[in-house]
Protein backbone atom coordinates (compact mmCIF):
# COMPACT_ATOMS: atom_id res chain seq x y z
CA UNK A 1 0.00 0.00 0.00
CA UNK A 2 1.25 3.50 -0.73
CA UNK A 3 2.56 5.23 2.38
CA UNK A 4 0.53 8.41 1.94
CA UNK A 5 -2.74 6.51 2.26
CA UNK A 6 -1.77 5.30 5.74
CA UNK A 7 -0.81 8.68 7.08
CA UNK A 8 -2.78 9.70 10.17
CA UNK A 9 -5.26 12.50 9.61
CA UNK A 10 -4.77 15.62 11.66
CA UNK A 11 -7.06 18.56 12.29
CA UNK A 12 -5.23 21.71 13.37
CA UNK A 13 -7.08 24.31 15.44
CA UNK A 14 -5.73 27.86 15.13
CA UNK A 15 -6.62 31.41 16.13
CA UNK A 16 -4.02 33.56 14.42
CA UNK A 17 -0.66 33.68 12.66
CA UNK A 18 -0.37 29.95 12.01
CA UNK A 19 3.41 29.52 11.83
CA UNK A 20 3.17 26.17 13.65
CA UNK A 21 0.47 25.13 11.19
CA UNK A 22 2.72 26.14 8.29
CA UNK A 23 5.57 24.06 9.66
CA UNK A 24 3.29 21.04 10.20
CA UNK A 25 1.96 21.32 6.65
CA UNK A 26 5.55 21.34 5.38
CA UNK A 27 6.35 18.19 7.34
CA UNK A 28 3.15 16.45 6.30
CA UNK A 29 4.24 16.68 2.68
CA UNK A 30 7.35 14.60 3.31
CA UNK A 31 7.07 11.02 2.13
CA UNK A 32 8.40 9.62 5.39
CA UNK A 33 6.12 11.78 7.58
CA UNK A 34 3.51 9.88 9.56
CA UNK A 35 0.73 12.45 9.37
CA UNK A 36 -1.25 14.58 6.96
CA UNK A 37 -2.90 17.89 7.79
CA UNK A 38 -6.39 17.11 6.62
CA UNK A 39 -8.44 19.88 8.17
CA UNK A 40 -7.86 23.36 9.63
CA UNK A 41 -10.36 24.97 11.95
CA UNK A 42 -10.06 28.55 13.15
CA UNK A 43 -12.17 30.32 15.75
CA UNK A 44 -11.26 33.61 14.04
CA UNK A 45 -12.43 34.60 10.56
CA UNK A 46 -9.31 36.70 9.99
CA UNK A 47 -6.69 34.18 11.18
CA UNK A 48 -3.65 34.46 8.93
CA UNK A 49 -3.13 30.69 9.17
CA UNK A 50 -6.28 30.13 7.07
CA UNK A 51 -4.32 31.46 4.10
CA UNK A 52 -1.75 28.65 4.41
CA UNK A 53 -4.55 26.12 4.49
CA UNK A 54 -6.15 27.56 1.35
CA UNK A 55 -2.83 27.87 -0.45
CA UNK A 56 -2.14 24.19 0.26
CA UNK A 57 -5.69 23.15 -0.69
CA UNK A 58 -6.48 21.90 2.80
CA UNK A 59 -10.12 21.98 3.88
CA UNK A 60 -10.53 24.89 6.25
CA UNK A 61 -13.34 26.32 8.32
CA UNK A 62 -13.63 29.55 10.29
CA UNK A 63 -16.15 29.25 13.09
CA UNK A 64 -16.32 32.55 14.94
CA UNK A 65 -19.16 31.60 17.26
CA UNK A 66 -19.84 30.81 20.93
CA UNK A 67 -17.66 28.07 22.41
CA UNK A 68 -20.59 25.66 22.34
CA UNK A 69 -21.32 26.27 18.66
CA UNK A 70 -17.62 26.13 17.81
CA UNK A 71 -17.26 22.80 19.59
CA UNK A 72 -20.39 21.24 18.08
CA UNK A 73 -19.47 22.19 14.54
CA UNK A 74 -15.84 21.07 15.06
CA UNK A 75 -16.98 17.73 16.49
CA UNK A 76 -19.14 17.04 13.47
CA UNK A 77 -16.27 17.92 11.10
CA UNK A 78 -13.91 15.64 13.02
CA UNK A 79 -16.34 12.73 12.71
CA UNK A 80 -17.15 13.52 9.07
CA UNK A 81 -13.50 13.53 7.99
CA UNK A 82 -12.49 10.64 10.28
CA UNK A 83 -9.74 12.66 11.96
CA UNK A 84 -7.23 10.74 14.13
CA UNK A 85 -5.61 13.59 16.10
CA UNK A 86 -6.44 17.20 16.93
CA UNK A 87 -3.47 19.57 17.21
CA UNK A 88 -3.90 22.96 18.84
CA UNK A 89 -1.44 25.47 17.40
CA UNK A 90 -1.83 28.98 18.74
CA UNK A 91 -5.46 28.19 19.48
CA UNK A 92 -6.61 30.74 22.03
CA UNK A 93 -9.76 29.16 23.44
CA UNK A 94 -10.04 26.66 26.25
CA UNK A 95 -11.92 23.58 25.10
CA UNK A 96 -14.58 22.22 27.44
CA UNK A 97 -14.19 18.85 29.18
CA UNK A 98 -17.30 17.70 27.34
CA UNK A 99 -15.58 18.40 23.99
CA UNK A 100 -12.45 16.53 25.10
CA UNK A 101 -14.57 13.49 26.04
CA UNK A 102 -16.77 13.57 22.97
CA UNK A 103 -13.89 13.94 20.52
CA UNK A 104 -12.60 10.49 21.56
CA UNK A 105 -9.24 11.12 19.85
CA UNK A 106 -6.01 12.51 21.31
CA UNK A 107 -5.82 16.30 21.48
CA UNK A 108 -2.33 17.77 21.54
CA UNK A 109 -1.13 21.28 22.31
CA UNK A 110 2.09 23.25 22.07
CA UNK A 111 2.91 25.72 24.81
CA UNK A 112 5.76 28.26 24.75
CA UNK A 113 7.32 27.42 28.13
CA UNK A 114 8.92 24.54 29.94
CA UNK A 115 5.78 23.25 31.63
CA UNK A 116 4.84 22.99 34.46
CA UNK A 117 6.44 26.42 34.61
CA UNK A 118 4.45 29.36 33.24
CA UNK A 119 1.08 27.93 32.30
CA UNK A 120 -1.26 30.40 30.57
CA UNK A 121 -0.32 33.66 28.86
CA UNK A 122 2.72 36.00 28.70
CA UNK A 123 5.13 33.13 29.27
CA UNK A 124 8.26 34.85 27.92
CA UNK A 125 7.79 37.97 29.99
CA UNK A 126 7.27 35.88 33.12
CA UNK A 127 10.27 33.65 32.40
CA UNK A 128 12.56 36.69 32.02
CA UNK A 129 11.15 38.53 35.04
CA UNK A 130 11.65 35.54 37.30
CA UNK A 131 15.27 35.22 36.10
CA UNK A 132 15.03 31.75 34.61
CA UNK A 133 18.22 30.46 32.98
CA UNK A 134 16.30 28.49 30.36
CA UNK A 135 13.00 28.62 28.55
CA UNK A 136 11.58 26.52 25.75
CA UNK A 137 8.45 24.81 24.60
CA UNK A 138 6.35 21.82 25.56
CA UNK A 139 4.19 19.55 23.42
CA UNK A 140 1.62 17.83 25.60
CA UNK A 141 -1.71 16.03 25.57
CA UNK A 142 -4.68 18.22 26.40
CA UNK A 143 -6.48 17.34 29.60
CA UNK A 144 -9.31 19.06 31.39
CA UNK A 145 -6.88 21.28 33.34
CA UNK A 146 -5.17 24.10 31.40
CA UNK A 147 -1.63 23.28 30.18
CA UNK A 148 -1.43 20.27 32.50
CA UNK A 149 -1.77 17.09 30.41
CA UNK A 150 0.94 14.46 29.95
CA UNK A 151 4.11 15.87 28.41
CA UNK A 152 5.25 14.33 25.10
CA UNK A 153 8.36 16.39 24.39
CA UNK A 154 10.18 19.54 25.52
CA UNK A 155 12.93 21.59 23.90
CA UNK A 156 14.90 24.21 25.77
CA UNK A 157 16.93 27.28 24.97
CA UNK A 158 19.16 29.51 27.09
CA UNK A 159 17.82 32.89 28.16
CA UNK A 160 20.58 35.41 27.54
CA UNK A 161 21.04 38.68 29.48
CA UNK A 162 20.23 40.61 26.31
CA UNK A 163 16.95 38.74 25.67
CA UNK A 164 13.63 40.50 25.94
CA UNK A 165 10.16 38.89 25.58
CA UNK A 166 10.26 39.48 21.81
CA UNK A 167 13.67 37.93 21.14
CA UNK A 168 12.91 35.04 23.47
CA UNK A 169 9.56 34.44 21.74
CA UNK A 170 11.26 34.19 18.36
CA UNK A 171 13.93 31.77 19.65
CA UNK A 172 11.24 29.60 21.25
CA UNK A 173 9.05 29.73 18.14
CA UNK A 174 11.86 28.19 16.07
CA UNK A 175 12.04 25.37 18.60
CA UNK A 176 8.27 24.95 18.52
CA UNK A 177 8.31 24.27 14.80
CA UNK A 178 10.76 21.39 15.30
CA UNK A 179 9.21 20.12 18.51
CA UNK A 180 5.66 19.79 17.15
CA UNK A 181 6.55 17.61 14.18
CA UNK A 182 8.97 15.51 16.23
CA UNK A 183 6.37 14.93 18.92
CA UNK A 184 3.77 13.83 16.38
CA UNK A 185 6.13 11.50 14.55
CA UNK A 186 7.08 10.09 17.97
CA UNK A 187 3.55 9.32 19.22
CA UNK A 188 2.08 8.06 15.95
CA UNK A 189 2.45 4.31 15.60
CA UNK A 190 0.91 2.49 12.73
C1 LIG B 1 2.96 29.88 19.72
O2 LIG B 1 3.99 30.44 20.48
C3 LIG B 1 2.22 28.85 20.53
O4 LIG B 1 3.03 28.10 21.36
C5 LIG B 1 1.31 29.72 21.35
O6 LIG B 1 0.88 30.72 20.45
C7 LIG B 1 1.87 30.89 19.45
C8 LIG B 1 1.18 30.64 18.14
O9 LIG B 1 1.99 30.88 17.04
N10 LIG B 1 0.27 28.96 21.97
P11 LIG B 1 1.54 30.47 15.57
O12 LIG B 1 0.10 30.92 15.38
O13 LIG B 1 1.68 28.99 15.43
O14 LIG B 1 2.48 31.21 14.68
Query: pLDDT 10s per residue in the chain (190 long)?
Result: 444 458 999 999 999 999 999 999 999 999 888 999 999 999 999 999 999 999 999 999 999 999 999 999 999 999 999 999 999 999 999 999 999 999 999 999 999 999 999 999 999 999 999 999 999 999 999 998 888 899 999 999 999 999 999 999 999 999 999 999 999 999 998 6
**Ligand 1 pocket mutation, candidates 25, 27, 89, 92, criterion most atoms within 8 A of CB:** 89
Pairing label, strands 8-14, 85-88: parallel
Please enumerate in sequence order all residues whose Cβ is within 8 A of that of 172, keeping only pairs 6 or more positions apart, or say none.
Answer: 112, 124, 135, 136, 137, 157
Determine contact, residues 59/39, Cβ cutoff 8 Å: yes
pTM of the entire structure? 0.95
Ligand 1 atom 5, closest CA: 90
Catalytic residues: 111
Is the CB of 112 inside a 6 Å radius of any atom of ligand 1? yes
| 90 C-alpha to ligand 1 centroid (Å) | 4
Amino acid sequence: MEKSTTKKKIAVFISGRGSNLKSLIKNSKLKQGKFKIHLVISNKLTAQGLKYAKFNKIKSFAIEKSLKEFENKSLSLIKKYKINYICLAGFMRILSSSFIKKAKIPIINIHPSLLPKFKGLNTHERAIKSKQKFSGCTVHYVSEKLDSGKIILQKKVKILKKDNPKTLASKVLKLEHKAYREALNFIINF
